[in-house]
Amino acid sequence: MSIVTRFAPSPSGRLHLGHAYSALRAWDFAQQQEGNFLLRIEDIDFNRCKAEFEDLLKTDLAWLGLRWSEPTRRQSEHLDYYQSIAHRLETDGFLYPCFCTRKEILAEIARAGAAPHGSEGPVYPGTCRDLSEDERTHRIKSGRDYAMRFDLASALEKVGRSLTWSDLENGEIPIAEKDWAELGDVVLVRKDIQTSYHLAVVADDFLQGVTHIIRGRDLFESTHIHVLLQHLLDMPQPIYLHHELVTDQTGKRLAKRDESETLAALRESGVSPAEIRERLGLLRD
């Protein structure tokens, strides 16, 4: 079977060395395995994503030597698809509406004392999980905004609590109870749009037949959620690789605001794609 990898950036700024590292790792793996490399545009954060960044990121990736087939999948064009998956999860009882504002969540956490703080920020204290059906209907009818949260307890009851996933370099990774506690009932359908990062990424990797997901260490914990969703939705499980993050001279992770390390700035200052590879420790054989 031929392998499929992908690079899935959000067009919310210029690409920097950290993105180049992710893209090149996925690209090189596809080349080594004689597989297919996809580019996917994850543009569901409407406040931050801009079409102009999409064009610019394609220019940067092509300059690095990457090739992909057009048209690329753009998540904002497939909201109905994500909505149908959310609907399936809801019908099966794995989602519940959450009316809390961010402020209310933080206040509830403060009131309850120390709450686990996971990789995604403060863990949702579960305020809306136990609302009665009547109360839910009443709030929805009265026009309150709501997100849909992942009912982890119900999901784990369905698929069992001893899940693992495959890591390309480290073998089987078990998901511990503590990992779930640090994630909490994450949002799968945002208030402003019919999906969320977690839902769209799982749905698209499935639809596009992605077999190997190569991405940064910052998304390691998200993989637990993705694997649980794949189980619930009867989707095959890809193999994962979470690479280390590229840092600046002070050891700080690069961010989109670090203008000097954008690929555009490096290119304009005369740096070549081969030098970028060298800087990233990705020399070709």
Q: Is 17 in the site for ligand GLU (CB under 6 A)?
A: no
Q: Draw the binding track, 42-81, toward ligand GLU (x: CB under 6 A; -: no contact).
A: x---------------------------------------
Q: Is 11 in the site for ligand GLU (CB under 6 A)?
A: no
Q: Is 215 in the site for ligand GLU (CB under 6 A)?
A: yes
- Where residue 99 falls (left for φ over 0; alpha for ψ -120 to 50; beta otherwise) is alpha
Count Cβ atoms within 10 A of the Cβ of residue 273 and give its class: 0-12 exposed, 13-18 middle, 19 or more buried. middle
d(CA 85, CA 201): 12
Q: Is 23 in the site for ligand GLU (CB under 6 A)?
A: no
Interacting span for ligand GLU (CB under 6 A) from 3-11, 122-130, 159-167, 260-268: 3-11
Q: Is 201 in the site for ligand GLU (CB under 6 A)?
A: yes
Half-sphere exposure in the Cβ direction for 285 (13 Å, CA): 4
Which residue type does 123 have?
V
Q: Give the number of residues in contact with ligand GLU, rule: CB under 6 A.
A: 7
Considering the complex, what minimum distance in angstroms separates the CB of residue 164 from ligand GLU? Answer: 19
Q: Dihedral of CA 242/243/244/246: which sign?
A: negative
* 68 three-class SS: coil
Terminal Cα distance for the chain, rounded: 24
Binding residue for ligand GLU, selected from 9, 97, 126, 184, defined by CB under 6 A: 9
Q: Dihedral of CA 138/144/148/152: which sign?
A: negative
Considering the complex, what minimum distance in angstroms separates the CB of residue 233 from ligand GLU? Answer: 16
Residues 227-256 that bind ligand GLU (CB under 6 A): none
Considering the complex, what minimum distance in angstroms separates the CB of residue 201 from ligand GLU? Answer: 5
Residues near ligand GLU (CB under 6 A): 8-10, 42, 201, 215, 219
